[in-house]
Amino acid sequence: MLRIHVSGWDLSKVRMATGPDALWETILSFHRLRDRRASSVFGKWRSEARPRLNGEVRLLSAVIPPRGYFPDFLTPSQESSDPLDFASGTEALRDTPPDRLRAELAVLGAQAAGGRGPARRAVGPVALDALGEGRAEPLGRLIGALRAYHRAAVEPYWPHVQASIEADRAVRGRALLDGGAEELLGSLPPVIRWRAPVLEADYPVDRDLHLDGRGLLLQPSFFCRGTPVVYRDPLLPPVLVYPVAQAAAPVFAASGPWLGRLLGNTRSTVLRVIGDGCTTSELARRAGVSLASASQHACVLREAGLVHTRRHGSSVLHTLTPLGGSLLRGGAPLAVS
C-alpha cells in the first residue's frame, strides 16, 4: 500500500501534468515490452516494436529490471507541470551528479543481488560500476540505448499516447472544475483512493510519502499499468505517475510510409509534429524547416481541415482536428474509455 499524506497546503498545490513525459513513457514501455500480460492492449505494439530493436534491450535491461526498483535518475524530475520532452529529459539525465548515480545504482545492485534468475543475470556488476563512476562514456552509451529504443518503440506511437493522455486530462479537468482538488483526487483510477487527508494506492511495497507542503504533480501515463509509480527518493519533487484508462482492444497504429506518399514527406512530418500540439516556432524547430515554411505548411493543413490554429498569448498554437488525428492514425479510433 502507498499512502501519500496531503495537508491542506498540499491540496492547494496539486496539479496536472500538461502532457505525457517522454522518459516516463519510455521507461515504463520497456516494462510492458517484457510483460506478457495485457496482450489485448499491448500485444500488437509488442509484435510491431520488437523487430525494430537491436542491442539496446540488453543494455537497458541492466538498469531497468522486469520488476521492482529502477533508478530515479532515469526519469528526471521537474518542478513545473510541463513534462520533459525526450531531448530535454536525456540532457537532464546526462547532468545527474556522480554521487547520485552511485547511490541509486547501489540500491539497484542490492536488489539484484537478492534476486534470482534473469533479473540477477541481467544486472552485471561491471556495467553498474562503470555507469556509477559518472564518466561520460558509459552514461552516453545508456542515453544512446534509450534514444534508439525510444525511436523504435515509443516515437512512432506518440500521437496515440498523447491522445490517450489528453482524454484523461479532460476527465480530471472536469473533476477539478466541478469540485476542486479533492474532487480531482477522487476521480483518479480505482487503484488510487482519496481518503482525506491521505491518498492511498495499491503498491508493491508498504510506503508512506509525506508531501510536506510541496504539493503533488499528477502525471498520467499510457504505458503505466496496474499500480502507480512514485520516486523512491522522498526528497525529489513529489510526482504520482498513474495509468490512464484503456479500451478493451485499442488499435496501435503508426501512420506509416503511406502518409508521406499522400501528403509529401515534409508535410506529413509537419502533421506528425502538430500531433503533439506546438507553436509555429516549435513546429519549425522540430520539423527541421524554416519559420516561414512551417507557417505555410500549417496554413495548408488548416485549410484542408486537418489542423486548428488559435492564438495563445503572443504565440500561435497548432493542434490537430479530429479529421487530422484520424488521418495521422490511419483511420484508427482513439484508444480511450
In order, the DSSP letters of 112-153 are HHT--THHHHHS-HHHHHHHHTT-HHHHHHHHHHHHHHIIII
Predicted confidence (pLDDT) per residue in 162-219, tens digit: 877 887 888 888 889 989 999 999 999 999 999 999 999 999 999 999 999 999 999 9
d(CA 53, CA 107): 28
Predicted confidence (pLDDT) per residue in 211-259, tens digit: 999 999 999 999 999 899 999 999 999 999 999 986 544 445 445 566 6
Is the predicted pLDDT of residue 336 greater than 60, yes or no? no
- Beta carbons of 225 and 314 less than 8 angstroms apart: no
Buried b or exposed e, range 34-50, using 16+ CB within 10 angstroms: eeeeeeebbeebbebbe
Model pLDDT, residue 256: 57
Per DSSP, which regions of 180-256 are E strands? 192-195, 198-201, 207-210, 216-221, 239-243
CA-based nearest residue to 168, from 16, 65, 287: 16
> Rounded to 10 degrees, what is the CA torsion of 252, 258, 263, 264?
120
Using left for φ > 0, alpha for ψ between -120 and 50, and beta otherwise, residue 117 falls in: left
Is the predicted pLDDT of residue 59 greater than 90, yes or no? no
d(CA 337, CA 333): 11
Predicted confidence (pLDDT) per residue in 177-186, tens digit: 989 999 999 9
**What's the full length of the chain, in residues?**
337
Q: What is the DSSP letter of 229?
A: B
Model pLDDT, residue 323: 79
Name the pTM for this structure: 0.73
Q: Which three cell numbers stand for residue 219?
A: 502525471
CA-based nearest residue to 201, from 190, 212, 211: 190
Binned at pLDDT 50, 70 and 90, residue 332 comes out as very low
Report the SS3 class of residue 242: strand
From edge to edge, which strands make up the β-sheet containing 239-243?
A: 14-16, 216-221, 239-243
